[in-house]
Amino acid sequence: MIYLEHVTKIYEDTKTMALFDINMRVERGEFVFVTGRSGSGKSTLIRLLIKELEATRGRIWMNGAALSGITEKGIPAYRRTLGVVFQDMRLFDDRDVFGNVAFVREIVNPSRKDISRRVTSVLSLLGLTDLYKRRPSQLSGGEKQKVALARAIVNDLAVVLADEPTGNLDPQSSAEVMDLFERIHRRGVTVLVATHDMEQADRLGHRRIVLEEGRIQKAIR
């Protein structure tokens, strides 16, 4: 599902080698953590996968397609094939929970009936039904992150990528959010979560790819 071959990323402006010769493979339906301390290259990896950055060397495939073959114009369409969750949630303050999730569905299917059915079903799956009329300002950090996750899966995508999804959360909320990633994974979605939260990674027990100064340190099964 996700395949990297000899991927190196150098930030030209600072001459920082953020990733060096990364080879990794995530199988369809797998749940994998990318862990490592701050500055080890986790965000860079996620940003390469969503084509926010280009690799300096090496090749990346997502769902069978080489990212190098995607043109600038094709990037928005490519990103719509991925569910992406960031640390800072990026919700719209002027829309309620329902509207925040519906927005992503509207882009692919403008049918009101479809939107209502899909959003209701995803909010229910993630235990958010009671909050559907709230604005982001009326939610806790954990609740906001669950809404971000609902948005990432409302289009029934095969892959969910997350960059520090629990970075701003207390331990209890972190555990709840990670449990929802687990629930999504059990429905067959391929999940890649970059996190420095070793406690959660340990608890869920999935394969871990550990980055250290841009290199893969060890993989734990």
Q: Rule CB under 6 A: which residues touch ligand ADP? A: 11, 13-14, 16, 18, 36, 38-44
Position 63, amino acid: N
For the bound state, the minimum distance from the C-beta of residue 103 to ligand ADP, rounded and expressed in Å, comes to 27
For the bound state, the minimum distance from the C-beta of residue 97 to ligand ADP, rounded and expressed in Å, comes to 28
Is the CB of 45 or the CB of 91 nearer to ligand ADP? 45
Is the CB of 29 or the CB of 39 nearer to ligand ADP? 39
Compute how many other C-beta atoms are within 10 angstroms of the C-beta atom of residue 113: 8
Give the residue from 201, 194, 197, 181 showing the smallest Cα distance to 43: 194
For the bound state, the minimum distance from the C-beta of residue 166 to ligand ADP, rounded and expressed in Å, comes to 14
For the bound state, the minimum distance from the C-beta of residue 105 to ligand ADP, rounded and expressed in Å, comes to 30
Is the CB of 87 or the CB of 100 nearer to ligand ADP? 87
For the bound state, the minimum distance from the C-beta of residue 74 to ligand ADP, rounded and expressed in Å, comes to 23
Is the CB of 58 or the CB of 136 nearer to ligand ADP? 58
Is the CB of 88 or the CB of 94 nearer to ligand ADP? 88
For the bound state, the minimum distance from the C-beta of residue 52 to ligand ADP, rounded and expressed in Å, comes to 10
Is the CB of 13 or the CB of 130 nearer to ligand ADP? 13
Nearest-angstrom CA–CA distance, 190 and 162? 11
Cβ atoms of 33 and 195 closer than 8 Å: yes
Token look-up 């090749």 returns: 59
Give the residue from 124, 131, 126, 102 showing the smallest Cα distance to 115: 102
In the 8-state DSSP scheme, what is residue 213?
T
Nearest-angstrom CA–CA distance, 205 and 106? 36
End-to-end distance of the chain based on CA atoms, in angstroms? 18
Strands (E), 47-96: 57-62, 65-66, 82-86
